[in-house]
């Protein structure tokens, strides 16, 4: 493999690990120093490997260079060393040399500490997601801008404001204690859930599915599972939910990245290993006494891994939606419940419930009405699909609505 092929992969996987350790070492006040050292490490790799070829162990090479650059910085910057080094928690070897610990355990501990730092309620939810992508996932400002279809300057300012707020609040990058886990785990899970949701259906970019965002959300979630202090039923339930959704990724879009509706998906493309993994973690989530929205949504996603339209399936999904709406109401959940209601009790009952929602600015709402009226009043179905097509913002969604419009027009001819 050539350096230009391997480096982007290593940047995605190793940048975040080294950055987490160094950010924890330097503290939130000097996070830019840590980022500069990691960036400089990868710049050195680009220059060195293009001239000399790949080293025998590229990852070990990166770790060694990052350690050396950190030690050199601390030795060189005497002001930093005199004023701030005593506050930095680090270990030394027998010669008194600073030891930068890039062991697997310290990387995992540092990443967990960073998750709880980034997901602090002193910064907004959107800033938490942006900062998580930047510091925990190794996404550059341009990548985050692309993911959210925002102005690059807006994202840059959002990330920097978030860092400043964390500094002003005196937030420490450290392993969370049990009290902090209890108080902040919900915020952490919300951030991971939002990150996965943005990947599952990207509302801010002209794509239906961003697998890279979904993969990062699952990776962060799994870090919580691997740590006994954060391995809670809710954490397992969220991971199960993501496994069930991810299992249908291959069947969810066509060759043109257009969405394939659930009823039209090729079940043979579903990933049975991920479904079984989801079942395992849903079982792990069944302990304890509380039911979270992640439990209920995972249950709904589980039943969607059965393609056949059995009455038991849709009745279970409907009841899970009823519980979800009582626990935490959302218009989208109510909309999705209406689809389950149509499957369980028929289209007329679903139409009556759907029209009560009156989500007049939501193209999914009119798409659902188009589906429900098809076969009952095709002219109304056509009108709803046309409205949905006009309201849709992505080219892929517009294309899907246009196909429905064309299909209904052909039926009327």
pLDDT digits (tens, 9 = 90+) for 89-103: 444 454 456 678 899
- The answer to whether residue 18 scores a pLDDT higher than 90 is yes
Nearest to 266 by CA among 249, 245, 283: 249
Q: How confident is the model at residue 39 (pLDDT cuts 50, 70, 90)?
A: very high
Residue 88 — very low, low, confident or very high, per pLDDT cuts 50/70/90?
Answer: low
Average pLDDT, the chain: 87
Look at residue 231 in the predicted model and tell me its pLDDT. Answer: 95
Own/partner pairs, 369-375, CB within 8 angstroms, 24+ separation: 370/404, 370/408, 371/339, 371/342, 372/338, 372/342, 372/347, 373/347, 374/408, 375/347
Q: DSSP secondary-structure letter at 134?
A: I
> Over the stretch 175-195, which tens digit does the pLDDT of each residue have?
888 888 888 899 899 989 988
Across 66-80, 146-160, 229-243, 380-394, which has the greatest mean pLDDT? Answer: 229-243
- Indicate if the pLDDT at residue 209 is higher than 90: no
Q: Which residue has the higher pLDDT, 80 or 364?
A: 364
Percent residues over pLDDT 70 in the chain: 91
Question: Of 230 and 143, which is predicted with more confidence?
Answer: 230
Comparing C-alpha atoms, which of 132, 127, 192 is closest to residue 164?
A: 127
Q: Binning pLDDT at 50, 70 and 90, where does residue 202 land? A: low
- Assign 232 to helix, strand or coil: coil
> What single-letter DSSP state applies at residue 263?
G
Supply the angle between the helices 211-226 and 233-246 in degrees, to the nearest 10.
150
Q: Which of 175-189, 197-211, 294-308, 323-337 shows the lowest per-residue confidence on average (mean pLDDT)?
A: 197-211
pLDDT of residue 79: 54
pTM for the full predicted model: 0.85
Q: Which of 62-76, 135-149, 384-398 comes out lowest in average pLDDT?
A: 135-149
Distance CA 219, CA 232 (A): 16
36, burial (CB in 10 Å: exposed 0-12, middle 13-18, buried 19+)? middle
Residue 57 pLDDT: 93
Q: For residues 144 and 131, give the distance between their C-alpha atoms in angstroms, rounded to a whole number.
A: 9
Nearest to 252 by CA among 231, 284, 274: 274
- Which whole number is the average pLDDT over 260-279? 92
* Block residue for tokens 């928690």: 89
pLDDT digits 0-9 by tens, 282-312: 999 999 888 999 999 999 999 999 988 777 8
Q: Compute the distance between CA of residue 193 and CA of residue 295 in angstroms, rounded to an integer.
A: 13
């Amino acid at each position: 493999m050539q350096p230009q092929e391997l480096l982007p992969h290593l940047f995605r996987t190793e940048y975040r690990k080294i950055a987490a350790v160094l950010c924890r070492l330097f503290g939130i006040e000097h996070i830019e120093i840590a980022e500069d050292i990691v960036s400089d490490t990868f710049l050195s790799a680009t220059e060195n490997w293009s001239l000399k070829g790949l080293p025998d162990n590229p990852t070990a090479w990166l770790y060694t260079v990052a350690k050396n650059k950190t030690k050199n910085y601390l030795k060189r910057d005497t002001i930093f060393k005199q004023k701030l080094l005593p506050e930095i928690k680090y270990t030394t070897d027998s010669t008194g040399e600073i030891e930068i610990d890039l062991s697997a355990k310290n990387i995992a501990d540092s990443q967990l500490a960073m998750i709880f730092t980034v997901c602090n309620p002193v910064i907004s939810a959107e800033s938490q997601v942006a900062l998580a992508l930047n510091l925990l996932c190794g996404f550059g400002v341009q990548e985050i801008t692309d993911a959210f279809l925002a102005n690059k300057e807006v994202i840059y300012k959002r990330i920097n404001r978030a860092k400043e707020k964390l500094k002003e609040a005196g937030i420490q990058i450290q392993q969370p204690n049990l009290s902090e886990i209890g108080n902040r785990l919900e915020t952490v899970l919300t951030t991971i859930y939002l990150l996965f949701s943005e990947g599952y259906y990207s509302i801010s970019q002209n794509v239906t599915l961003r697998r890279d965002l979904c993969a990062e959300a699952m990776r962060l979630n799994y870090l919580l599972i691997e740590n006994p202090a954060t391995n809670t039923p809710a954490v397992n339930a969220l991971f199960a939910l993501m496994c069930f959704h991810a299992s249908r990724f291959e069947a969810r879009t066509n060759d043109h990245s257009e969405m394939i509706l659930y009823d039209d998906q090729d079940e043979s493309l579903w990933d049975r290993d991920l479904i079984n993994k989801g079942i395992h973690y849903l079982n792990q989530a069944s302990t304890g006494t509380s039911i979270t929205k992640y439990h209920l949504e995972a249950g709904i996603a589980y039943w969607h891994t059965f393609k056949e339209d059995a009455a038991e399936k849709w009745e279970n999904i409907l009841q899970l939606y009823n519980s979800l709406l009582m626990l935490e109401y959302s218009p989208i959940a109510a909309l999705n419940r209406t689809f389950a209601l149509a499957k369980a009790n028929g289209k007329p009952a679903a139409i009556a419930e759907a029209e009560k929602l009156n989500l007049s600015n939501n193209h999914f709402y009119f798409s659902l009405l188009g589906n429900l009226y098809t076969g009952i009043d095709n002219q109304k179905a056509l009108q709803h699909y046309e409205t949905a097509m006009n309201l849709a913002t992505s080219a892929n969604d517009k294309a899907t609505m246009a196909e429905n419009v064309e299909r209904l027009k052909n039926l009327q001819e």
